[in-house]
Amino acid sequence: MTTSLPARFGVPQELEARCARLKAEREGKRLTILVCCGTGCLANGSAKVADAFARELHARGIDADVGLAFKRTGCHGFCQRGPLVVMMPDETFYQRVKPKDVPKIVEQTVVGGKVIATLLYKDPNSKQRITRYHEIPFYQKQTRVAMRNIGLVDPRDLRDSLARGAYLAVAKALGAMTPEQVIAEVDQSGLRGRGGAGFSTGRKWRSARAAPGERKFVICNGDEGDPGAFKDRSILEGDPHSVIEGMIIGAYAVGAHEGFVYVREEYPLAVENLGHALCDARAAGLLGRNILGTGFDFDVQISRGGGAFVCGESSALMKSIAGMVGEPRAKYIHATDRGLFDLPSVLNNVESWSDVPVIIEKGAAWFAAMGTAKSKGTKAFSLVGKVKNTGLVETPMGITLRELIFDIGGGILNDRPFKAVQTGGPSGGCVPAHLLDLPIDYEKLTEAGSMMGSGGMIVMDDRTCMVDVARYFTRFLWDESCGKCTPCREGLSQLQIVHDRICRGLGREEDLPLMERLGAVMETAALCALGKSANFPVKSTLQYFRDEYVAHVRDKRCPAGICKDLTIYRIIDEQCNGCGACLRVCPSKAITGKPKQLHALDQGLCISCGACFDVCTPMNAIAFDPRPHAAAVPPAAPGAAPARRNS
């Protein structure tokens, strides 16, 4: 028997009773089928899989079985393996599920209780098939706090979230704590911002509470403009109630009655699920006037983002919400005094908001028990790039880069050597191999010349040219900054021009100190944090991979074989067995040869893309050399840089 959506909860006790009942109801289920319908899995066709389940269960008449539940959930994080289907309570984990697999799953697993081996995940390292979710290396070292409910609840069903204890922290905070106590709890938990600089959330709230004024705002930053990052999207899509709940608690603490969630324009599903959740929460008396009968009023509205990376910066974001152009302003006066509409405002990241209810419910000490001395709790990371397992991960702070990349990530793709990991988003730095045992926390990453940022982790192997990487991020920031202040705008233009000429073999040795001097001024002189950190990719690669710059500049050689103007490829005759793998991947038909016979590479047609090199792993019969007399290509104007060559 399912309980319908509750009418308004009049008092906290009503909510508590309902949560307990819904929990028991769900725990009584014999089997719950969870089909991931996050953006990643949807892109892989999970909507059809979910439909197939609905059809199949209905056709067999088992959709009426009260012991069975079927849900469309948010993202499990392992999108690479999607569409994902998880069966609870056994945690049977099926991956790459296609609609045609569904009748078999229903027949054998749902009805027959048997596991289908071919749908299980096969660990690329041990080559073992793994049945249960938590036994998969990708999930083994994870601890989910901000993402505690994602993948387990249907984000369109408030009852699901209530069964997982949603809004109990609101009941506790509003019912039994003073705003000061709430702030003290959050402060003591050591929670620091999960979206940017890692500022203490408790301190931010305290300033906003102390700021004079009747009208204040709490805002959720869901802009997430970093390329490759998707933690905030996953939380908003998969568990919007946790964010709303955090915001209610924050609003109560600082004395705000209005909230905004700023969501990136490109996140339609997040907007949809969040909008749905807001309506449900309002109907249940969890938002709006007199929340849970405590007399506290608060409501939230959605604001759609302007699209540029810079709009995630706090002052730009607030301008954007107010309908102005999303350009940063000087923050000599803090947003907690003068933020949105010049009124006291608290801005926190999606993940920060999602952490708050757990802190209130389980207490500051519980949260602070995880992590390092100054970075407490857990952190979500988007693990992408040249690792075997890519996806969204949440672990306690203090996990080492090595554990993250090699244990959770399964190591480097094709077992190539690890070269660097770029952390913290586009203006983060590249951390080299000798720092792999670095425990991840705010200070350690900053000391290493990078940053925590939003938790982006882009893993790079030996086939990555670090000069090219620095050029890529410089270009990204040149495109995505606001262009308002001189050091950032002109500095990025020049950094880009210099990288361009270095990659073309036209660099000069003086270019390196020139960029260092320029970068140092950008750091101190730019208006906002984007410009102040825009040189980090360049600075860190110059620090850790200077020899690569020198090779480009002095020897006109790209050690990774990526910069086309500096690299030619050839076949090592003695090693070629004529397998034809290279011939098939060459986009410009530069390779010819009969099967099992020596192949030939036509230098005239070769565009130095290196595709042949990357596929010839069994024989290693392709080599690259510096291009003789690097062509004197004139440097391009800023903005005219060619598209990036390696990803």
Partner 1 sequence: MSHEPSGRVVKIEIDGRVVEARTGEFLLAVARRAGIDIPAICQHEAVDPAGNCRMCLVEITKASWDGWSRLVTACLYPTEQDLIVKTHSAPVIEARTVLCDLWLARCPDSAYVQKLAAEFGIEKTSYQPAAVPTDQCILCGLCIRVCEKLGPAAIYTVNRGGRKKVAGPFEGPPPDCIGCAACAEVCPTSCITVAERDGTRTIWDKEFQLLACTTCGRTLVTIEEARYFGRKGGLGESYYQLCDRCKRLQTAQQATKVAGLPLTVGGLGEASGRPFRSPGSLTTSR
Ligand X SMILES: Cc1cc2nc3c(=O)[nH]c(=O)nc-3n(C[C@H](O)[C@H](O)[C@H](O)COP(=O)(O)O)c2cc1C
Q: Which does 639 bind (CB under 5 to 8 A by kind): ligand X, ligand SF4, partner 1, none?
A: partner 1
From 47-55, 73-81, 311-319, 626-634, give the range in contact with ligand X by CB under 6 A. Answer: 311-319
Nearest residue (CB) to partner 1, 30 versus 517: 517
Contacts with ligand SF4 by CB under 6 A lie at 310, 328, 481-485, 488-489, 526-528, 530-531
Q: How far apart are CA 574 and CA 566, in angstroms?
A: 25
Residue 13 φ/ψ, nearest 5 degrees = -60, -35
Please state the closest distance from residue 193 (CB atom) to ligand X, in A.
Answer: 2
Please state the closest distance from residue 180 (CB atom) to partner 1, in A.
Answer: 26
Q: Which does 103 bind (CB under 5 to 8 A by kind): ligand SF4, partner 1, ligand X, none?
A: none
C-alpha angle 586-587-593 in degrees, rounded to nearest 5: 35
Quickly count helices (H) and strands (E) in the chain: 25, 19
* Cis ω before 83 (30° cut-off from 0): yes
Q: How far apart are CA 191 and CA 253, in angstroms?
A: 15
Cα atoms in the 13 Å half-sphere on the side-chain side of 282: 11
Of 346, 366, 203, which Cα lies nearest the Cα of 261?
346
> Rg (Cα) of the chain, in Å, rounded?
26
Nearest residue (CB) to ligand SF4, 98 versus 331: 331
Please state the closest distance from residue 486 (CB atom) to partner 1, in A.
Answer: 5
488 forms part of the interface with ligand X (CB under 6 A): no
Out of 152, 459, 530, 611, the residue judged to bind ligand X by CB under 6 A: 530
Please state the closest distance from residue 338 (CB atom) to partner 1, in A.
Answer: 7
Out of 11, 20, 197, 619, the residue judged to bind ligand X by CB under 6 A: 197
Nearest residue (CB) to ligand SF4, 108 versus 486: 486
Out of 25, 48, 188, 199, the residue judged to bind ligand X by CB under 6 A: 199
Nearest residue (CB) to ligand SF4, 56 versus 327: 327
Out of 194, 233, 241, 419, the residue judged to bind ligand X by CB under 6 A: 194
378 forms part of the interface with ligand X (CB under 6 A): no
Please answer whether residues 380 and 393 qualify as being in contact, where contact means their C-beta atoms are separated by less than 8 angstroms.
yes
Please answer whether residues 187 and 226 qualify as being in contact, where contact means their C-beta atoms are separated by less than 8 angstroms.
no
Nearest residue (CB) to ligand X, 422 versus 454: 454
Handedness of CA 354, 356, 362, 366 (dihedral sign): positive
Q: How far apart are CA 565 and CA 563, in angstroms?
A: 6
DSSP string computed for 9-27:
--SHHHHHHHHHHHHHHHH
Please state the closest distance from residue 475 (CB atom) to ligand SF4, in A.
Answer: 14
Nearest residue (CB) to ligand SF4, 46 versus 427: 427
Nearest residue (CB) to partner 1, 489 versus 557: 489
Which residues lie below 8 Å from residue 64, measured CB to CB, with a gap of 6+?
Answer: none
Q: Which does 479 bind (CB under 5 to 8 A by kind): ligand SF4, ligand X, partner 1, none?
A: partner 1
> Amino acid identity of 523?
E
Which residues lie below 8 Å from residue 83, measured CB to CB, with a gap of 6+?
Answer: 35, 36, 41, 44, 45, 46, 49, 95, 96, 97, 98
How big is the site for ligand X, counted in residues (CB under 6 A)?
Answer: 23
Out of 82, 165, 196, 326, the residue judged to bind ligand X by CB under 6 A: 196
Nearest residue (CB) to ligand SF4, 435 versus 529: 529
**In Å, what is the CA distance from 402 to each residue of 43, 65, 304, 386, 439?**
30, 46, 37, 14, 9
Nearest residue (CB) to ligand SF4, 163 versus 518: 518
Out of 348, 375, 464, 540, the residue judged to bind ligand X by CB under 6 A: 348
Q: How far apart are CA 462 and CA 282, in angstroms?
A: 53
Residue 9 φ/ψ, nearest 5 degrees = -80, 120
Contacts with partner 1 by CB under 8 A lie at 308, 310, 325, 329-330, 332-333, 338, 342, 477-487, 489-494, 496-498, 501, 514, 517-518, 521, 524-527, 635, 637-639
Give the nearest residue (CB) to ligand SF4. Answer: 531
Q: Which does 366 bind (CB under 5 to 8 A by kind): partner 1, ligand SF4, ligand X, none?
A: none
Please state the closest distance from residue 476 (CB atom) to ligand SF4, in A.
Answer: 12
62 forms part of the interface with ligand X (CB under 6 A): no
Q: Show the binding pattern over residues 271-310: x = contacts ligand X (CB under 6 A), - = does not.
A: --------------------------------------xx
Cα atoms in the 13 Å half-sphere on the side-chain side of 242: 35
Nearest residue (CB) to partner 1, 373 versus 521: 521
Q: Which does 338 bind (CB under 5 to 8 A by kind): ligand X, partner 1, ligand SF4, none?
A: partner 1
Strand ranges of the sheet holding 92-94, from the earlier edge strand across to the other edge:
68-73, 31-36, 85-88, 92-94
From 113-121, 156-164, 490-498, 526-534, give the range in contact with ligand X by CB under 6 A. Answer: 526-534
Out of 38, 225, 385, 559, the residue judged to bind ligand X by CB under 6 A: 225
Please answer whether residues 253 and 182 qualify as being in contact, where contact means their C-beta atoms are separated by less than 8 angstroms.
yes
Of 471, 540, 457, 544, which Cα lies nearest the Cα of 502?
471
Please state the closest distance from residue 487 (CB atom) to ligand SF4, in A.
Answer: 7
Of 455, 466, 446, which Cα lies nearest the Cα of 533?
446
Which residues lie below 8 Å from residue 577, measured CB to CB, with a gap of 6+?
Answer: 596, 619, 621
* Cis ω before 628 (30° cut-off from 0): no
**In Å, what is the CA distance from 637 to each residue of 53, 478, 612?**
55, 13, 31
Please state the closest distance from residue 372 (CB atom) to ligand SF4, in A.
Answer: 30
Please state the closest distance from residue 542 (CB atom) to partner 1, in A.
Answer: 17
Nearest residue (CB) to partner 1, 452 versus 530: 530
Give a three-class secondary structure readout of 128-172: CEECEHHHCHHHHCCCCCCCCCCCCCCCCCHHHHHHCCCCHHHHH
424 forms part of the interface with ligand X (CB under 6 A): no
Q: Which does 12 bind (CB under 5 to 8 A by kind): ligand SF4, partner 1, ligand X, none?
A: none
529 forms part of the interface with ligand X (CB under 6 A): yes
224 forms part of the interface with ligand X (CB under 6 A): yes
| Neighbouring-strand partners of residue 643 | none
Nearest residue (CB) to ligand SF4, 485 versus 622: 485
Of 46, 87, 96, 49, which Cα lies nearest the Cα of 69?
87
Out of 142, 149, 221, 496, the residue judged to bind ligand X by CB under 6 A: 221
List interacting residues with ligand X (CB under 6 A): 193-197, 199, 221, 223-225, 309-310, 312-314, 347-349, 352, 454, 528-530
